[in-house]
């Protein structure tokens, strides 16, 4: 939209942009606790990733896996942000006015004469606007809340299902994992274990590990305290990898409440040219970062064309 000459402002509830493509700093250690790597099937996302690798924001990651040697499970190249996954989205923010720590609560018509401009209201009762169009790029359950009475836009979202995912982060002074960087589907509880510091551009001091729990475990444990989850997941990792007696010097857990798409919408995005309000996200087309990119691009184009 910016390239098409629109003036764009972004309101992000978190302290940083990037959403589930994230890097969390804990003391002197950092962890990619959301998306682990991205892949490109489409030429549009492929070109974006080429640009990112060409400019040093991203690099190829070829981990040793449990699926048979280097690159064993890679059908497509795995790309990671450098020095953390969050770097992958930074260039998208260039030239935009970004407001962080701004949780949108609702949108309401800002211009009663034309009926098309919108104000955005935030949790702290303040507002911004008027804007000629609104693009809501958040997980489907959060988008439904924001759409409020715009039933024609909100109704299809009830088809979408998203699942929680607990992430656990652990750091060790020395290397503890067996001779692999990625372990997938280790048990009913553990979906993924990655040696985070094996990714390119990461600090090689000690060992940083990211664990993702299975959807079943994450759903059942949605309301459990993060400290308890960190302990339970580490015990499970120790069992799965025979690491009894090994304890991390740091461990913590984070819940992605709307982490993974279980049932997607099956359309690239939703847009009403009457209201000039649209909704986009990974859940429109699938469950990957590439789907989010494609959905956002589609909605951006639709908004530009509507003027
Ligand atoms: C544990 C995990 C592992 C994953 N692994 C991979 C992987 O390996 N490869 C891959 O391609 N994909 C992976 N994914 C999926 C990938 O992260 C997502 O597909 C992608 O990041 C979705 O982008 P998005 O822009 O649609 O949504 P999000 O990344 O969720 O961005 C939405 C943003 O909106 C903000 N927001 C929400 N509500 C409001 C509000 N009311 N007001 C203001 N801001 C709001 C959020 O804070 C967030 O920043 C993984 C996801 C998780 C959780």
Q: 51 is in which domain, residue-wise? A: 24-88+161-262
Assess whether 84 and 189 both reside in one domain.
Answer: yes
Q: Is 305 helix (H, G, I), strand (E, B) or coil?
A: helix
CB-based pocket (< 6 A), ligand 1:
11-14, 19-21, 34-38, 103-104, 137-139, 142, 146, 165, 167, 212, 256, 259-260, 281-282, 287-290, 292
Residues 6+ apart with CB under 8 A from 220: none
Structural domains of the chain, count? 2
Give the CA count within 13 Å in the CB-facing half-sphere of 212.
23
Name the residue of 24, 35, 127 to mutate for ligand 1: max ligand atoms within 8 A of Cβ.
35
Name the residue of 138, 167, 296, 298 to mutate for ligand 1: max ligand atoms within 8 A of Cβ.
138
Name the residue of 20, 141, 144 to mutate for ligand 1: max ligand atoms within 8 A of Cβ.
20
Assess whether 106 and 184 both reside in one domain.
Answer: no
Confidence band (pLDDT; 50, 70, 90) for 113? Answer: low
Residue 203 covered by a domain: yes
Assess whether 180 and 33 both reside in one domain.
Answer: yes
Assess whether 272 and 228 both reside in one domain.
Answer: no
Distance from the alpha carbon of residue 53 to the mean position of ligand 1, in angstroms:
21
Residue 13 covered by a domain: no
Assess whether 228 and 98 both reside in one domain.
Answer: no
Name the residue of 9, 22, 33, 34 to mutate for ligand 1: max ligand atoms within 8 A of Cβ.
34
Assess whether 109 and 239 both reside in one domain.
Answer: no
Average pLDDT score, the chain? 94
Domain of 126: which CATH number? 3.50.50.60
Q: Tens digits of per-residue pLDDT, 16-55?
A: 999 999 999 988 899 999 999 999 999 999 999 999 999 9
Assess whether 197 and 297 both reside in one domain.
Answer: no
CB contact at 8 A, 271 and 128: no
Distance CA 85, CA 83 (A): 7
Q: Whose CA is nearest to atom 10 of ligand 1?
A: 288
CA 222, 224, 226, 229 dihedral sign is negative
Domain of 63: which CATH number? 3.90.660.10
Residue 11 covered by a domain: no
Q: Tens digits of per-residue pLDDT, 187-242?
A: 999 999 999 999 999 987 899 999 999 999 999 999 999 999 999 999 999 999 99
With a cut of 60, say whether residue 70 has pLDDT above it.
Answer: no
Q: Tens digits of per-residue pLDDT, 176-185?
A: 999 899 999 8
Q: Whose CA is nearest to atom 14 of ligand 1?
A: 35
For 24, other C-beta atoms within 10 Å of its C-beta total 19
Assess whether 231 and 115 both reside in one domain.
Answer: no
Distance from the alpha carbon of residue 258 to the mean position of ligand 1, in angstroms:
8
Residue 250 covered by a domain: yes
Distance CA 146, CA 158 (A): 14
**Does pTM top 0.85 for this prediction?**
yes
Pairing state between β 64-65 and 79-81: unpaired
> Which atom belonging to ligand 1 lies closest to the Cα atom of 11?
43
Assess whether 101 and 180 both reside in one domain.
Answer: no
For 298, other C-beta atoms within 10 Å of its C-beta total 18
């Amino acid at each position: 939209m910016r390239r098409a000459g629109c003036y764009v402002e972004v309101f992000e509830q978190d302290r940083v942009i990037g959403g589930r493509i994230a890097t969390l700093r804990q003391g002197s250690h950092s962890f990619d606790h959301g998306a682990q790597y991205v892949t490109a099937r489409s030429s549009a996302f492929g070109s974006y990733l080429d640009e990112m690798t060409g400019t040093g924001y991203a690099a190829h990651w070829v981990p040793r896996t449990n699926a048979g040697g280097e690159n064993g499970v890679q059908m497509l190249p795995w790309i990671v942000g450098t020095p953390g996954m969050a770097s992958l989205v930074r260039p998208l923010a260039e030239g935009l006015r970004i407001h962080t720590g701004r949780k949108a609560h609702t949108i309401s018509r800002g211009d009663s004469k034309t009926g098309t401009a919108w104000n955005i209201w935030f949790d702290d009762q303040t507002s911004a606007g008027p804007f000629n169009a609104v693009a809501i790029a958040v997980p489907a359950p959060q988008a439904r809340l924001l759409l409020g009475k715009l039933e024609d836009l909100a109704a299809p979202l009830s088809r979408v299902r998203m699942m929680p995912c607990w992430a656990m982060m652990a750091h060790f002074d020395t290397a503890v994992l067996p001779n692999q960087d990625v372990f997938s589907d280790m048990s009913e509880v553990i979906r993924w274990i990655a040696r985070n510091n094996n990714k390119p551009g990461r600090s090689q001091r000690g060992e940083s590990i990211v664990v993702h729990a299975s959807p079943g475990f994450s759903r059942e444990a949605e309301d459990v305290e993060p400290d308890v989850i960190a302990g339970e997941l580490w015990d499970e990792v120790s069992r799965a990898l025979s690491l009894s007696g090994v304890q991390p010097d740091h461990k913590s857990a984070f819940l992605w409440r709307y982490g993974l798409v279980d049932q997607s919408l099956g359309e690239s995005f939703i847009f009403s040219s009457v209201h000039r309000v649209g909704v986009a996200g990974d859940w429109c087309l699938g469950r990957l970062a590439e789907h989010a990119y494609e959905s956002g691009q589609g909605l951006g184009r639709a908004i530009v064309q509507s003027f």
